[in-house]
Amino acid sequence: MSSQPLVNSEQFSAGGLGTVRGYLESETLGDDAVTATLELRSPSLVGTGKDDAENDWRFYVFGDAGFTSIQAPLPGQDPGSSLLSVGLGTRGRFFDHYNGSLDVGLPLLRRSSGQDRQPLYTFRVWGDF
């Protein structure tokens, strides 16, 4: 929450892997925002033994939501925007350093690009040491 309108580069962004999957990164911007995620995960399919704890592979289903609002919208500018999606994915960690995820998110509300209810597939790979 902001006490005054923010310049574009300081606004909160919603949409994308970190906030509301199924939408493009920074699908919407606002001075005030809130996001929420509910994720139900399977037990690990690998790495269940004591000697194999460095490996982890799970499937999950999720529901994401976000809302942004602009404190002083310009004429013709939408004062608020809502995002809502559901989906599923998989995430893994192997050899304690290599990670990857694949998500399929289905937006339940219209995207700013005009595409309606088209699933968005996103993946990422990373390493940590």
More confident residue, 48 or 19: 19
The mean per-residue pLDDT over the stretch 74-87 comes to 92
More confident residue, 10 or 83: 83
Share of the chain above pLDDT 70, in %: 91
CA atoms within 13 Å, Cβ hemisphere of 96: 5
DSSP state of 111: -
The predicted-structure confidence for 87-106, as pLDDT tens digits, reads as follows 999 999 999 899 999 999 99
- Provide the pLDDT for residue 8: 74
Alpha-carbon Rg for the chain in angstroms: 18
- Provide the pLDDT for residue 124: 96
State the pTM of this model: 0.86
Number of residues that this document lists for the chain: 129
Q: Is 8 helix (H, G, I), strand (E, B) or coil?
A: helix
Q: Which residue has the tokens 């809302």?
A: 67
The predicted-structure confidence for 39-67, as pLDDT tens digits, reads as follows 999 999 997 666 667 899 999 999 999 99
- Provide the pLDDT for residue 34: 96
Share of the chain above pLDDT 90, in %: 67
DSSP state of 109: S
- Provide the pLDDT for residue 49: 67
Cβ count near 95 (within 10 Å):
8
